[in-house]
A and B are shown apart, each in its own frame.
Chain A
Amino acid sequence: GQNIDQPTEMTATEGAIVQINCTYQTSGFNGLFWYQQHAGEAPTFLSYNVLDGLEEKGRFSSFLSRSKGYSYLLLKELQMKDSASYLCAVLDSNYQLIWGAGTKLIIKP
């Protein structure tokens, strides 16, 4: 079966750094997405990785290791507005997105 695992909830302090991990087992792999979803809102795109390595975009970075079935999203200089759920999704062999349940990130002052 297809499976994507990420922690249910994480807590971090404003101004700090947090790493949200995602492991996956899917039928085929055509890339991995990270989305941000604020409570009561729609998911919005953060990053896409298809090759191994680190992709940096401002305060957010995303890492992929295809051989380990592993990705992480790194958020630096945390702000209160970063309080949200972060969704990991894998594009499978049929080019459909398989979604993790999401990690709720709580930022404390």
Chain B
Amino acid sequence: TAGITQAPTSQILAAGRSMTLRCTQDMRHNAMYWYRQDLGLGLRLIHYSNTAGTTGKGEVPDGYSVSRANTDDFPLTLASAVPSQTSVYFCASSLAGVESYEQYFGPGTRLTVT
């Protein structure tokens, strides 16, 4: 069982370039989330989607955009990367409001913006 997959595993990106981080889940979870994790800070929510076709802003949405065209996929786009976006990005999903709010995480993408 794949669960949640993320791609790429890691990436070095020049400042000013755009990039899309991919996230796919096969658990038919309704809710999906994007977090960033930085040393000394907790996971911070970037964007979320409670169901296909809807998205919402989290704690740190600036510089990022998302879409949720279907249940399985939740890509995160950086339109013009800046060095402060260097971080580890985790995608997660849950059966929020349906079964439990336990979140399942993908393996993460390590992004370095130079």
CA–CA, A100 and B48, complex, Å:
19
By a CB distance below 8 angstroms, the chain B residues around A87 are 42-43
Asked if B34 is at the interface (CB within 8 A of a chain A CB), the reply is: no
Q: Which of B42, B96, B104 touches A4 (beta carbons < 8 Å)?
A: B42
> Which residues of B are found within 8 Å of A41, using beta-carbon distances?
107-108
Q: Are A96 and B45 in contact (CB under 8 A)?
A: yes
- The B-contacting residues of A in range 27-58, CB under 8 angstroms, are 30-31, 33, 41-45, 48
Secondary structure call for the B interface: loop
Do B90 and A101 touch (CB < 8 A)? Answer: no
Q: Could you tell me the distance between the alpha carbons of A84 and B107 in the complex, rounded to whole angstroms?
A: 16
Tell whether A106 is near chain B: CB-to-CB under 8 Å. no
On chain B, the number of residues with a Cβ less than 8 Å from chain A's Cβ atoms is 20
Chain A 67-98, CB-CB to B under 8 Å as 1, else 0, gives 00000000000000000000101010001111
Using A42-B90, A42-B106, A42-B107 as known contacts, say yes or no to A99 and B101 having CB atoms under 8 A apart. no
User: Is the CB–CB distance between A44 and B48 below 8 Å?
Assistant: no
A44 touches B103 (CB 8 A): no
- Report the minimal beta-carbon distance from B88 to chain A, rounded to whole angstroms: 9
Q: Which residues of A contact B103 (CB under 8 A)?
A: 45, 97
Tell me, in angstroms, the Cα distance from A33 to B90 when the chains sit together. Answer: 17
CB-CB nearest in chain A for B43? A99
CB distance from B42 to the nearest CB of A (A): 4
Question: Could you say which residues of chain B place their CB within 8 Å of the CB of A97?
Answer: 43, 45, 101, 103
State the Cβ distance, B11 to closest chain A Cβ, in Å.
16
B97 neighbours in A (Cβ, 8 Å): 95
Contact B42 A48 (CB under 8 A): no
Q: In the complex the two chains form, what is the Cα distance from A30 to B68 in whole Å?
A: 26
Q: For residue A97, which residue of chain B has the nearest CB?
A: B103
> Which chain B positions have C-beta within 8 A of A31?
101
Closest to B103 in A: A97
Residues from chain B with a CB closer than 8 A to the CB of A33 are: 101-102
A sample of 7 inter-chain contacts (CB < 8 A) reads: A8-B40, A33-B102, A42-B106, A87-B42, A97-B43, A97-B103, A102-B42
